[in-house]
Amino acid sequence: MNIFQSFKMAFRSIIGNKLRSFLTMLGIIIGVASVIVLVSIGQGSTDSVTNKISTLGTNLISVSLRGTDMSLEKSDIETIKKLEGVEDVAPYVSTSATLKNGTNSTSVSGYGVTASYATVKDSKPALGRFISDLDVEAKNKVIVLGYDTSQTLFGLLNPVEKNVLVNGVSYKVIGVLPEKGTSTGSNGDSLLLIPFSTAQRLNADTGITSVYVSAKSENAIDQAVLQIKILLGQLFPNQSDAYSVSNSKDLMETLTEVSSTMTTMLGGIASISLIVGGIGIMNIMLVSVTERTKEIGIRKAIGAKRWSILSQFLIEAIVLSALGGIIGIGAGIGVGRLVEKFASMAVSTSVPIIFLSFGFSILTGIIFGVFPANKASKLNPIEALRFE
């Protein structure tokens, strides 16, 4: 019996027992669909994290001082700016305040910044202007609002040149930032920006402990980081634990690695379903061998070779797993689309993962189909003919 006849008999057997065949394939269907859905969600999360970090700027460096009574002077900021590989420097101070406009109020976090912050952090306003060096020098009571903060306080009205109360003190709104969304766990639209000197007075703190630095290019980041660490080592000898220098490139690599590990784990967990499905195929094939013992005996009695019997049952197992894999692929892609639409989760369906899942389902059929196929091929024709 040739290979085509084996496939024909396999399909005939599957069609003749539709319900049993579907239940047999169900484990493979669930396994393949689970792998595709979970890996797609993991890959989508990885892509989302990468894109959001990219919006921060791939050449951004963050310098933070954590030591008690440690701070940088204005002259230190100028020194950093002159370091090799450094494009610009933007000191900032974290702050928070309650903003009020009429009956509308909100409590938000924000930063006291200088004019260079707009370039370093790509924070050019959509409306109005940004904080200027003159605002910093004069300690002006001016404020730039985040997109959500502006919507909360002023609705659809243009807030530029209007006043808002910041902790009970009147500030003039000079600009509104464009909508940015959430990035690395923080809402880039719910914030406020005020002049650096004004924030220092608001916080009763004149020290500089946090600085954003932009490198001249992505390739210059490592050089800039090294230069900054050398300078901080000179300014604060034997206190390396009291400051940190990080960059968005390292953050992206770390988060991407974590996301990739999680994706692999999710795929591995989902693959267990494929193994369970394979066991289901093996069990049903063993039942099929028992039910068709007399048929096997007749075929052997009229000259069927062992390989012919083995290939028939093995092909039947492979066809079952292949059909289950195809249905599983369709189900996985469909569920992924539903998750993306209704759960607002990033889903990135990967073609290689689809082929890998299908290949794994075929491999499962082969592995778990060999034992029952081998058992059928070894049956003694005389005993098989006498089987009731």
Binning pLDDT at 50, 70 and 90, where does residue 114 land? very high
Residue 188 pLDDT greater than 60, yes or no: yes
DSSP 8-state secondary structure symbol assigned to residue 84: T
Report the alpha-carbon distance of residue 71 to residue 64 in Å, rounded.
Answer: 9
pLDDT in the model for residue 239: 83
CA distance 76 to 60: 19
Q: 123 and 165: one domain?
A: yes
Query: How many domains does the chain fold into?
Result: 2
Check pLDDT > 90 for residue 113: yes
Amino acid in position 38: L
CA 272 vs. chain centroid, Å, equals 22
**Residue 63 counted as domain residue:** no
Provide the mean pLDDT of the chain.
83
Residue 140: the pLDDT is: 92
Domain that holds residue 156: 71-235
Does residue 282 sit in the same domain as residue 375? yes
- Check pLDDT > 60 for residue 1: no
In this structure, are 349 and 223 located in the same domain? no
pTM greater than 0.75 (yes/no): no
58 pLDDT band, cuts 50/70/90, is low
Averaged pLDDT, 363-367: 85
Residue ranges in 57-124 assigned as alpha helix (H):
74-81, 117-120
CB 354 within 8 A of CB 329: yes
pLDDT of 61 over the 70 cut: yes
The verdict on 302 and 261 lying in the same domain is: yes
Predicted confidence at residue 263, as pLDDT, reads 74
**Looking at the predicted structure, is the pLDDT value of residue 300 above 80?**
no
| pLDDT at residue 144, rounded to an integer | 94
pLDDT at 52: 65
Do 172 and 261 reside in the same domain of the chain?
no
Same-domain check for residues 178 and 38:
no
Residue 185 has pLDDT above 70, yes or no: no
pLDDT of residue 192: 92
Does one domain contain both 134 and 214? yes
pLDDT of residue 150: 93
Residues of the chain above pLDDT 70, percent = 91
Average pLDDT in the 217-221 region? 82
Q: Flag whether 305 is in a domain.
A: yes
Which residue pairs from 95-100 have beta carbons closer than 8 angstroms and sit at least 24 positions apart in sequence? 95/192, 95/194, 95/199, 95/202, 95/203, 97/166, 97/167, 97/192, 97/202, 98/166, 98/167, 99/149, 99/153, 99/164, 99/165, 99/166, 99/192, 100/153, 100/164, 100/165
Residues 39 and 76 in one domain: no
Q: Which residues contact 130 (CB under 8 A, 6 or more apart)?
A: 115, 117, 118, 123, 124, 144, 174, 175
Provide the pLDDT confidence category of residue 135 given band limits of 50, 70 and 90: very high
Task: Using the predicted structure, report yes or no on whether residue 155 has a pLDDT greater than 70.
Answer: yes
Average pLDDT over residues 363-370: 84
